Each structure stands twice: as structure tokens, then as C-alpha cells.
Amino acid sequence: MGNGKIIVEAELRPTEDEEKVIKAINNVFTYENMEIMDQGEYKVIRCYSNSYNSLRKFHDLLRKQAILDAARSYFLKRVRGNKLQILLHKQALYQGKVSFISWDEESPLGPIKITIESDNINEVIDWLSPQTVRGKPLWERGVPD
């Protein structure tokens, strides 16, 4: 399966339920390991994977919600070199819904942040969110190498 470096992070505020935040992450990401770091006022939950397959749930939600076009244009705007950073609304994700945000403040309790690092970042974007015509994907690729 494809190799890259994927990190999913979320702040855990004192008012939040740790299990709920972890459930939100689990709704989009299958991680290989997780660490919870204490940052003083809040904790940070950070999950890692080296396989694009860990994003399979995210891939499937984009199709289920029929938001491939929006996802693709969001991803293309947010690529920096070999890195793509995606911010997702935490409360929406807990409900199993993908909602993209442009900056941290849009999610009151902080976003869930997905950082994908890859030498083939465009292939990753093509896999997650192919171009569509009238909402139908023009291609469906396998998980990138």
C-alpha cells in the first residue's frame, strides 16, 4: 500500500470528552499509533500512519457526502510542496460528517488537522478526490504507492 507520512492532530480542551475527540478521529483515520501530550492548558492527541490506506474512511466519506469537487479544490489550494494540510470541523466529524475549514478559529474547540506528506502528493489528491463531471468521478484510482 502507499507510503507517505500522515499525522492527524486534535487539541483536547478541558471541557471536552477525550473519547469523543478520539471517536471523531476514528471516523476518518485508521492510525498505527497515538500519543496524548499535555500542553499545560490543554492536551494534544496526535495519531500517526505511514499508509495512505489509513485514509480509506476519509476517502469513502467524501463520496458518501458527494463533496468530491469541493474537496478537490480545497486540497489543491492547500498543497505546499510535498505536504497537504487539511482542517476539519471537530464537532461535525464527531457526527461522521466531513466539513472543511480554512482556519483554526472556524472550529470553536480547534480543528482536527490532517497533514499528509508525500512525494506523490498529486496522486494522493487524485485518489482522495478525483475530478468529476456532474458529480460523477472521471476516474477511480487505487491507493497510491
Give domain status of residue 144, yes or no. Answer: no
Task: Tell me the C-alpha distance between 74 and 103, whole Å.
Answer: 12
Q: What is the pTM of this model?
A: 0.94
Q: Which domain holds residue 61?
A: 3-137
> What CATH number does residue 55 fall under?
3.30.1440.10
**Which distant-in-sequence residues (6+ apart) come within 8 Å of 31 by Cβ?**
8, 25, 47, 48, 49, 54
| pLDDT tens digit at each of 145 positions of the chain | 456 899 999 999 999 999 999 999 999 999 999 999 999 999 999 999 999 999 999 999 999 999 999 999 999 999 999 999 999 999 999 999 999 999 878 888 899 999 999 999 999 999 999 999 987 888 898 888 7
Q: Is the residue at 143 inside a domain?
A: no
Grid look-up 506523490 returns 120
Q: Provide the domain count of the chain.
A: 1
Instruction: Answer whether residue 108 is part of any domain.
Output: yes
